[in-house]
Amino acid sequence: MNGIINVLKPPGMTSHDIVNFIRKKLKIKRVGHTGTLDPNAAGVLPICIGKATRVVQYFDDFSKSYRAELTLGYETDTQDKYGEIINRKAIPDITSDELEQVFNEFKGKIQQIPPMYSALKHNGKKLYELAREGKTVERKPREIIIHNISIIKNYDNKRVLFDVECSKGTYIRTLCNDIGKRLGSLGCMTFLVRTQVGDFKIENAYTIEEIEEYISNGRLSSIMMPLDSVLKHHKLVKLDQKFYDILKNGGKIKLSDHNYKFNSESHRGEIRVYCDDIFIGMGLVEETAEGTILKMDKVFI
């Protein structure tokens, strides 16, 4: 069984809990998630099964979207409502226009310092493990991209519900904390749901209970996405079926000697390789003195 399930992770389960649940139900080991979602958060968590675990790395290229709530006036050690309150600060008078302006200041490329309560490592130890020991270590700012951020509901300038689309490595907890400080107060994330990862949307996600039912009925494959569904942003080449065995075994062929069809004039970098309509994997095209050479890089069949 190979494919990707769009899972709606419930609050209270870790991303690895979801992986273990599916491993146990399907009795297979090759199951992996595509990016950690906070245990107390809910939302989209694509799960790769079987050979689809080899496309996990491509999810790093996708932007992620969230709906979150920022509460002003205090901050916690975890930067969300589940931590210990470590500081309070009065909320200054803020107009709706000023609030909107500050949110807009966070659009684009910005620097963000990862929180101590995170799975990042320092000298081989996870930061949240150090934080639980009462330790704090220096973390270097990292560049992230906020593609879009928009206020959905403003509750008297004390609580703000907003949507954000961002790059990988973005901590929404930290974003709330930083916005709170920029507004002259403090900020804490009090709600979070991930609404989209690439083309995987929350309205098309399946709950744990629904997935369990599909497994029990032997119909899980009906809700699984194929491996190449996450690679469609890569260019592709289609070849005759006669090259199937060569490509399946990781070989290379001279394209200039055969009939082939690119879906784009530019074909540098990794491309999807098909024999007729069968997806073989990812290949690399090289222009050499002998002609155009296609070499398989990753075989998925």
| Residues annotated catalytic, as ranges | 38
Q: d(Cα 35, Cα 168) in Å, to the nearest integer?
A: 9
- Tell me if 31 sits within 8 A of 148, measured CB to CB: no
DSSP state of 204: G
- Tell me if 197 sits within 8 A of 44, measured CB to CB: yes
- Tell me if 4 sits within 8 A of 35, measured CB to CB: no
The enclosing H or E element of 65 equals strand 64-72
Q: In sequence order, which residues have a C-beta less than 8 Å from that of residue 277 and are 6 or more positions away? A: none
Q: d(Cα 178, Cα 148) in Å, to the nearest integer?
A: 16
DSSP state of 37: -
Q: d(Cα 297, Cα 86) in Å, to the nearest integer?
A: 50
How many angstroms separate the Cα of 206 from the Cα of each of 9, 17, 107, 212, 218? 9, 16, 31, 10, 16
Q: d(Cα 177, Cα 182) in Å, to the nearest integer?
A: 9
Q: d(Cα 21, Cα 207) in Å, to the nearest integer?
A: 12
Tokens of 215: 């497994």
